[in-house]
């Protein structure tokens, strides 16, 4: 079931949005371990992983830092890929950049 574009008024602690499979074909998010989240003047590099488990209700640090209300749906938009300049690996590492709406 594709729930990515459905409108929701409140966050449900036990429910998640599904990412459409055609988006995953062009943007394989499961391959990255970091993501940069931006909102206004605040940006935070976060660890990222594909989560197939139940929602952890305590995952709200970024929302608290940006003063979002608890029941506000956090929407984000994929913008571009960024090179990780702090990498110690020989191959350049990249991470996706998202803007919060």
Is the pTM above the cut of 0.75? no
Residue 93 Cα to chain centre, angstroms: 18
Report strand pairing: 94-100 vs 34-39. parallel
| Cβ contact 58:64 at 8 Å | no
Q: What values do phi and psi take at 29, rounded to 5?
A: -60, -25
Token readout for 89 is 């690996």
Q: Which of 12, 13, 29 is nearest to 21 (CA)?
A: 29
Q: For 42-93, what is each residue's pLDDT tens digit?
A: 877 777 655 443 455 555 565 666 666 555 555 566 666 666 665 555 555 6
Q: For 28-51, what is each residue's pLDDT tens digit?
A: 666 677 777 777 778 777 776 554
Q: How far apart are CA 88 and CA 34, in angstroms?
A: 15
The residue ranges of every structural domain in the chain are 21-100
Residues 6+ apart with CB under 8 A from 60: 70
């Amino acid at each position: 079931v594709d729930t990515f574009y459905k409108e929701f008024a409140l966050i449900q602690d036990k429910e998640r949005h599904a990412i459409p499979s055609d988006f995953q074909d062009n943007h394989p998010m499961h391959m990255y371990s970091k993501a940069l989240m931006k909102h206004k003047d605040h940006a935070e590099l976060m660890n990222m992983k594909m989560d197939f488990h139940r929602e952890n209700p305590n995952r709200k640090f970024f929302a608290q830092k940006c003063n979002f209300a608890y029941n506000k749906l956090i929407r984000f938009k994929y913008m571009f890929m960024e090179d990780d300049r702090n990498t110690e690996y020989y191959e350049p590492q990249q991470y996706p950049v998202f803007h919060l709406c």
